[in-house]
Structure 1
Amino acid sequence: MESKKEKTVEEEEVPVSPIGQYFNSSVLSVCILGVLESDIPIDDSPTLTLLKNLFLPINPRFSSIMVTDDKGVKRWKKVDVKLQDHVNVPVFPDGLSLESYDEYTQDYLSKIAMDPLSQNRPLWELHLIKYPTSNAAGTIVFKLHHALGDGFSLMGALFSCLQRTDEPSLPLTFPSSRPESRLVSDNKNIFKVMPRMFSTVFNSALDFGWSLIKGYLVEDDQTSIRSGDIGVEFWPITISTVTFSLHQIKQIKAKLGVVRLPEHGLQ
């Protein structure tokens, strides 16, 4: 009986990774904002049901809080989620122009980006902005703590909640940057795969080494983006959005000499 109880505790409380502890400490708290724009007005009536049936089962961290045990080790503890506490629907003035709602939306994003998440409930929030902007009829904002995962994994989690409009039973897909036939033939040709693999390993090692050097020995130059002022991380922030076409991104890639584009975010 005692061993069964210990096994249950171990299943419910999993140690937090070092990266997760780093992103959620007394001196640092990092969150990710995932913004989804809708072509149709947002109906919030099925929100709680969708969160319970689609969102929470994706990752056990979405229904867990971070606790510290007797030995000082941080662990994920499974809890009952009160979904209504995680859903926020802001109220803006009615009858404004699209440009005005653009400003209200950006100001709202800036505000929630700086607000700390409660440590007494799972580290995520959902914000439903039911006002039209220049780009959408409504905006859905997920605020997810970085301790839950990195940007790519959280983006994949959000995409897994979506369905195709033409065929909801099929998984969501995105256009590939290369024809499928070419991808298959490349994978079968070891002489093409191996150089690409070595290039990836070499660039990863180079980036890691350069990051260590910049972290301990070299300081970034002061620019219009990086002021170098002390305490700048505590200044108020403003979130702005800009849209680039794929052609413009390729131009930026060529100008900066980037090896490859982040395909997970583009495809």
Structure 2
Amino acid sequence: MGALLSCLQSAQNPSVPLTFPSLKSSGPKTTHKTKTVSQFFSSVFQTVSDFSWSILKSNFVEDDRTPIRSGEDGVEFRPITLSTLTFSIDEIKLIKNKLGVTINDVIAGIIFLGTRIYMQEVTQKSSSERCTALVLLRTRNIEGYTPIKEMIEPNNAKMSWGNQFAFLHLPVPKSTEISNPLDFVWEAQQMIKKKRSSAASYLTSWLLDILKKFRGPEGAARYIHGTLKNSSMTISNMIGPVEKMALDNQPVGGFYFMVVGPPQCLTVTALSYMGKLRVAFGAEKGFIDSQKLKASMQNAFGAILEASNPIPPANAA
């Protein structure tokens, strides 16, 4: 995707590079420059716990069978149905500012709530099965997308071809009664914040490098395959340009990306572009009802937006 975006130009001025949102956090900055002893040991414990659980989850512990996970072999060879939804970035930022969370927290909360709504509608009962989302993280040490000219330069240590990523296991919050949509955003925030305090993602990336070095690409691929197979869904998101772009002077009205061929029944991707967030769903055809899933995600977004911005009473001052 980085290579693709580096081939595109601004529709208004092809000589000007595309503009991307800042990757810097907009949240309040902490004034503490050093960690306390308790924080250090807490971070170490969290790292060991997360990394150990990641290894167990990748090799031994499978998710339960649910309306989004059949648990059968050969899922990666079955046809999928692609569908997309578009949300307003401004409305997502409105939720973010009201709740004091990040955009990623809001997106995760919407996907988690929509998933539980779908599962509950399909089974006609509260869904509390073990359901894990595998969140992919880019580990490239870059702040943007490198032009193709730089990528093909020999001996360019800053940019190498191929995917470089790690992953986090995030359990989809259980819900016996979906009554407070904001709980899904809060739980997503707590989980993501907790995972960020550990170095498990870096250790996972290091483990994949070790497997690739000693067992070859096939060994690393088998480990990733097992990781995907034991979880229920994959979530991957990217930051896109803020202005309209063009390919060979042809304006691009919208686009999305999809990870195809994983041993999972459901893959979710999100990509921002021109003030819109386009969420795409790759669902196993004949097993997941894509239209019902889309409706569940749309209802989840509406419920979270309404709950975060309650309408005041008509007689309020």
Band the TM-score falls in, shorter-chain normalisation: 0.3 to 0.5
TM-score, normalised on structure 2? 0.30
- TM-score, length-scaled by structure 1: 0.35
Question: Relative contact order (C-alpha < 8 Å, sep 6+): which is higher?
Answer: 2
Computing the radius of gyration from Cα coordinates, the structure with the larger value is: 1
